[in-house]
A and B are shown apart, each in its own frame.
Chain A
Amino acid sequence: MKEKRINPRKLSAVKDFSCVLPVLIFLAVFTYYPIVELLRISFTDWNLLNDTWQYVGLKNWTWLFAGSGTKYLWNSLKVTVLYSIGELSITLIGGMIFALIFNRMTNSFAAMRAIIFMPKYVAMSSAAVVFLWILNTDSGIFNYLLSLVGIKAVDWLGDRNMALISVLMLTGWRCIGYGMMVYLSAMMGIATDYYEAAALDGANAVQRFFKITLPMLSPTTLFLFVTTFLSSMKVFQSVDILTQGGPYRSTEVFVYNIYRYAMVDFRMDRASTVGIFFFILLLIVTVATMKISNGNVTYDS
């Protein structure tokens, strides 16, 4: 009889565990297993157009680092870094400037702030086709406006020097209001005593900004930096709709590079190899940014 009785505490633990079990199984199948599988595929010669495949050792890896894939790898690395720098500058610097402009606690400014933030909720694909239309070389309004001040028509999406800038215009439009909102909510948290004390000491507005506002906002800046950096590395949709990585791969960011190998060339082996490399890169960036965030930040104590 004694063995049949179940310890109630144990039963409770089992029930609690069963609350999280579905999630764990899911993550095992849809997140952790695919990473292992990705690594395995990178050692094969799996082409979707062929019926069979076999292990080929490090062939894909030599292709990636010392073969025909190398120059595209560095290209997409360069494009991704440039894109990230662009998105970071817009979100951090632009967001800060916008926060200063809209830092007025009246109803009309609250309404304006909401409108500035709205693009974040406009689906990227809608925003992208709108920008395609605005930036259209022949009948787009942007070139028309430029022609009014005497600037010749620019081929925004077809010129390899302009394409990335065009993608960044779209990104900036959607992200700048987000940066503003995050900064503003942090600014409201700064105690006014600091400003009053500084004003008594005769500090002007510019000095107050650099001596009080900016340092006090450094945790916010860091947060924005880390999250924006990581998400900017994964950019895909805007590039896919605006330029498809072109012209001449001048906007081929990392994810687009992987996507092209897998879904256009059907080279699963190569796509997986680049994918693993990309994953390692993301890990390095994550760990590095976490390391930084444990140092150099001013907190209000």
Chain B
Amino acid sequence: MSVQAAANTNARNESAKRKRKIMAGIQWALAIIVLIIIVFPIYWMLVSSVKSQEEILLAIPTLWPKEFHFENYINVLNRGNFAKYYWNTSVMTAGILIAQVVTGIFAGYGFSKGKFKGQGLCFIIVLGALMIPLQVTFIPIYIMMANWGMSDTFLGLILPEAVSPYYIFMLRQTFMSIDDSYIEAARMDGLGRVGIITRILAPMCKSTLFTVTLVTFTNGWNAYFWPKIIAKGESRRVLTVGLAYLKNTFAGGESMNNHEIMAGAVLAVVPVIILFFIFQKYMLTGYSKAAMK
């Protein structure tokens, strides 16, 4: 009797194991299919960027290039003026980054560890700004900047993005989690506000600081709406906008030059994708961290 029961459970375990194996197989199969679909556009961008013009216009597309034409990249950098766009994007991103980090850290300190009358009201002013996006206010800002002679300048690109309420909010939340006793101790040792921020708070909140700064960097690098409005001319055009104009830059129909447009697309994403793979741990949480608090 007991032998039979044992055999029964054994059989049940066997079938459960088999079932689990089948489930895992299905999961793997689905995962691979999904992966192929998601990766395909990136693969197609890379492959198309090294094809020749004839190959790109073939009626039956080739999945792997017959010959590699890396000169597409040189063409885009020179004829398409991408070298200049690269410079413009870099300067703009650096400017936005520095401005947001500096204003964000100080304001984050003021709203978390500072004490002054009207602190709550001031913080509501900052939070309220989250509800007024640039997509609403861009007209008066554009007029204002144009009147100040800032269209087609770096200052014009950077200034409206110099303060990020989101960044301030994040830093305030993180700084609040640091115990006041650290700050008291630092004050006893004679550290001023700048010292407390740079030597105590910033190092203690390194990982959050780094994560939100990465988000700021990618947002700056990938910015499109405002740069398109304020820098209409060639001189301060950024990569994202330049890429969108690329199809008009080369002579001929737009489908004629897709190999070079793809090369431009690759050039525009390379820095951020490299960062993504290096700092995966931070980047994966970057977007979700904000709202979980």
Residues of A near any B CB (own CB < 8 A): 12-17, 19-20, 22-24, 26-27, 30-35, 37-38, 41, 98, 101-102, 104, 109, 112-134, 136, 138-139, 141, 144, 173, 176-178, 181-182, 185, 223, 227, 234, 236-237, 240-241, 255, 258, 262-263, 268, 271-272, 275, 278-279, 282-283, 286
Contact = CB atoms under 8 A, between A and B. Distances in A.
A234 B133 contact: yes
Contact of A173 (B38, B115, B138, B159): B38
Closest 10 CB pairs of A and B: A16-B114, A19-B110, A34-B137, A20-B110, A37-B140, A34-B140, A125-B240, A126-B265, A123-B222, A13-B116
Contacts of A22: 103, 106-107, 163
Interface of B: 24, 27, 30-31, 34-35, 38-39, 41-42, 44-45, 48, 56-61, 103, 106-107, 109-111, 113-117, 122, 125-126, 129, 131-133, 135-144, 159-160, 162-163, 165, 168, 193, 218, 221-222, 224-225, 228-229, 239-241, 243-244, 246-247, 254-255, 258, 261-262, 264-266, 268-269, 272-273, 276, 280, 283-285, 287-288, 291-292
B265 A181 contact: no
A132 B84 CA distance: 24
A182 B286 CA distance: 11
Nearest to A235: B135
A123 B113 CA distance: 36
A133 B44 contact: yes
A270 B12 CA distance: 72
Contacts of A255: 135, 225
A16 B110 contact: yes
Given A133-B44, A234-B135, A118 B273 contact: yes
A32 B103 contact: no
Contact of B288 (A19, A185, A263): A185
B225 A236 contact: yes
B135 A122 contact: no
A258 B114 contact: no
Nearest to A144: B61
Contacts of B162: 26
Given A268-B143, A286-B131, A124 B240 contact: yes
Given A102-B31, A109-B31, A177 B38 contact: yes
19 contacts: A13-B115, A15-B193, A20-B122, A23-B103, A23-B126, A27-B125, A30-B159, A34-B141, A41-B140, A101-B27, A116-B34, A123-B268, A124-B240, A126-B266, A130-B41, A223-B292, A240-B244, A282-B133, A283-B131
A148 B141 CA distance: 51
A79 B261 CA distance: 29
Contacts of B125: 24, 27, 32
B131 A20 contact: no
Given A19-B106, A144-B60, A181-B288, A130 B114 contact: no
